[in-house]
């Protein structure tokens, strides 16, 4: 058992490591909040804290999952041309931002937590928090762009068909990245390396000339990164769900009964057209629902991981005394851990909710590549032969050999 003094030191170290300020708690040594533990707790035992060794193990596992998972997504989309759809282009940008966040932030945090000192110099002190906040901005606004893309594709397909292209997606992603780099220039300007009382120890912190300006800037960031994107995505996906629900109702509408009556009365041509178009629309709606379901899960996971951190940040900025008194080191450690989990959950979501990504991950590993390819050829061949037989039945004058040559087989 540790004595009370040792526990106080561990708690102070963890509170400093898991401080509630946004820009420097993730990409620096995490010593921004100078907490006087004795002042807050006196002779009382401090709140429970997460064990340092446990936290390091968790950070290491999350780091490996984030790096390996996002690299797999990038490699899968890069080497599989069939998966380079408009939606997947946005998911590629999301993986790049998550990978940057993991590579540039997690190792710095782990090293800073161990040494309790920022050893990377003035340049990295300015650049690392900047990279972090840009990566978060790109992640959230890529998801906003993706929600709008799905909204127009499902709810306004005719008006959006002309501009919903891969080139447009690349331009939109480029605009998001450029906006992030410009918007957060103040982070580079006002972040400085500050010496501590202990010799040769430093911390990386924001130093604004006017605290009110810093508070206003942080409040604007909260609106730009959390409030506005959440409102936009809630509205977009709500409208998408309503539209898909209407499609489901139309599939089971009374017109199906009229189709069966028409077929019994001998209206063969119209009934055949309906029976051919109905399965296509049904499968299309099922595919749309699967994609939308996966995207909604991604959005929910992002806000579950980031909203607690932002709420604690805003609480600290507007009432620091109450925040530091009420939030324990364990609370802060869990909240901080959640922000890192956000960088590794997306590849796991793709793997569980998208069959094509699962196959792509296996091919990226070099497993079952030939088997998958062969299975794909067999599947497309079977589909092609079925279509040919259906064509011959419906149009007996069609030359089977000519039809076979003209029917495309997509591999």
Tell me, letter by letter, the H, E, C secondary structure of 292-330: HHHHHHHHHHHHHHHHHHHHHHHHHHHCHHHHHHHCCHH
Domain locations along the chain = 4-367, 370-411
pLDDT tens digits in sequence order for the chain, 411 residues long: 444 444 444 444 444 444 333 334 445 433 333 343 334 444 444 445 556 778 788 888 999 999 999 999 999 888 888 888 888 999 999 999 999 999 988 888 778 777 778 888 888 888 988 998 999 999 999 999 999 998 998 888 888 777 888 899 999 999 999 999 999 999 999 998 888 888 888 888 888 888 888 888 989 999 999 999 999 999 999 999 888 888 777 766 655 545 545 444 545 444 444 444 455 556 666 777 888 888 899 999 999 999 999 999 889 888 888 888 888 878 888 888 899 999 999 998 888 888 888 887 887 776 544 444 433 333 333 334 444 444 444 444 444 444 434 433 333
Q: What is the pLDDT of residue 259?
A: 52
CATH top-level class of 4-367: mainly alpha
Tokens of residue 51, six digits: 């064990």
How far is CA 398 from each of CA 76, 99, 204, 388, 401, rounded to the nearest angstrom? 41, 54, 75, 10, 9
| Residue pLDDT, tens place only, 351-385 | 888 888 888 788 777 654 444 443 333 333 333 44
- DSSP secondary structure string for all residues of 114-172: HHSS--SHHHHHHHHHHHHHHHHHHHHHHHHHHHHHHHHHHHSHHHHTTT-SHHHHHHH
Distance CA 343, CA 143 (A): 14
The crossing angle, in degrees rounded to 10, of helices 268-318 and 121-155 is 150
DSSP letter (8 states) at residue 398: S
| 11: number of Cβ within 10 Å | 22
The answer to pTM > 0.85 is: no
Q: What's the Rg (C-alpha) of the chain?
A: 27
**Overall size of the chain counted in residues:** 411
Q: What is the pLDDT of residue 401?
A: 44
């Amino acid at each position: 058992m540790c004595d009370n003094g040792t526990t106080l030191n561990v708690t102070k170290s963890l509170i400093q490591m898991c401080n509630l300020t946004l820009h420097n708690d993730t990409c620096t040594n995490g010593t921004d909040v100078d907490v006087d533990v004795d002042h807050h707790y006196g002779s009382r035992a401090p709140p429970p804290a997460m064990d340092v060794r446990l936290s390091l193990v968790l950070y290491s596992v999350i780091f490996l999952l984030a790096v390996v998972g996002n690299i797999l997504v990038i490699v899968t989309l890069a080497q599989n041309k069939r998966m380079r759809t408009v939606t997947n282009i946005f998911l590629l940008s999301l993986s790049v931002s998550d990978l940057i966040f993991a590579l540039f932030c997690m190792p710095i945090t782990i090293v800073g937590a161990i040494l309790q000192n920022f050893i990377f110099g003035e340049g990295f002190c300015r650049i690392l928090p900047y990279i972090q906040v840009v990566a978060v901005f790109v992640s959230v606004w890529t998801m906003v762009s993706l929600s709008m893309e799905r909204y127009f594709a499902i709810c306004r397909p005719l008006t959006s068909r002309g501009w919903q292209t891969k080139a447009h997606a690349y331009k939109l992603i480029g605009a998001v990245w450029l906006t992030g780099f410009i918007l957060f220039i103040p982070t580079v300007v006002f972040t400085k390396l500050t010496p501590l009382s202990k010799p040769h120890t430093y911390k990386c912190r924001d130093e604004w000339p006017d605290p009110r300006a810093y508070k206003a800037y942080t409040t604007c960031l909260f609106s730009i990164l959390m409030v506005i994107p959440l409102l936009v995505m809630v509205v977009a996906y709500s409208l998408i769900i309503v539209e898909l629900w209407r499609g489901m109702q139309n599939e089971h509408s009374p017109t199906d009964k009229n189709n069966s009556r028409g077929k019994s009365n001998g209206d063969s041509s119209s009934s055949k057209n309906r029976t051919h178009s109905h399965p296509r629309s049904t499968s299309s709606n099922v595919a749309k629902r699967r994609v939308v379901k996966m995207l909604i899960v991604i959005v929910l996971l992002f806000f579950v991981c980031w909203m607690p951190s932002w709420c604690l940040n805003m609480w600290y900025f507007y009432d620091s005394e109450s925040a530091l008194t009420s939030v324990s080191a364990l609370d802060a450690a869990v909240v901080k851990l959640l922000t890192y989990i956000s960088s590794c959950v997306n590849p796991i979501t793709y793997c569980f909710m998208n069959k094509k990504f699962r196959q792509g991950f296996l091919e990226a590993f070099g497993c079952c590549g030939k088997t998958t390819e062969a299975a794909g050829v067999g599947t497309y061949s079977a589909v092609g032969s079925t279509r040919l037989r259906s064509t011959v039945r419906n149009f007996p004058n069609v030359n089977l050999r000519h039809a076979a040559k003209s029917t495309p087989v997509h591999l």
